[in-house]
Amino acid sequence: MSLTVHTEQRGDVVVVSVAGELDMATAPQLQDQITDLLDKGHSRLVFDLANVSFCDSTGLSVFVRAKNSCDEAGGVVRLAAPQRGVLRILEVSGLVEVLHTYPTVEQAVAGEPTPASS
């Protein structure tokens, strides 16, 4: 399956909507998009995962790298609306809190303190 990535500016946050399967074959596409955003000075990113049906460790590593890069730039990475299977891999890996995961895009954009794992 392919991966589609769309971006939308919301104030000082860029919402990156991802759809499809995020795995070894598709992760480089998302990584390229993130690199482009960082190169343009965007370091406050929310990843809308509502339409991501699968994510493996390669996909998770893309989010960890994005977080590290955004942290260095004084920004933030938040994940929003992951499907149950994706949320489960975030929980099992311990990344659900590290990557600040929220139930909705709106909450993630606002930075509300209610993570998806509560």
pLDDT in tens, 20-72: 999 999 999 999 999 999 999 999 999 999 999 999 999 999 999 999 999 99
Q: For residue 97, what pLDDT band results from cuts at 50, 70 and 90?
A: confident
The angle, 0 to 180 degrees and rounded to 10, between the axes of the packed helices 57-72 and 27-39 is 10
Per-residue tokens: 8: 């939308």
β-strand partners of 78: 46
**Three-state SS for 111?**
coil
β-strand partners of 13: 10
List, edge to edge, every strand of the sheet that includes 76-80: 3-10, 13-22, 44-55, 76-80, 101-102
Mean pLDDT of all residues in the chain?
Answer: 94
Q: State the pLDDT at residue 113.
A: 64
Q: Identify the DSSP state of 4.
A: E
CATH 3.30.750.24 fits 3-110, yes or no: yes
Residue 117 has pLDDT above 60, yes or no: no
Q: State the pLDDT at residue 118.
A: 44
Instruction: Calculate Rg over the CA atoms of the chain.
Output: 13
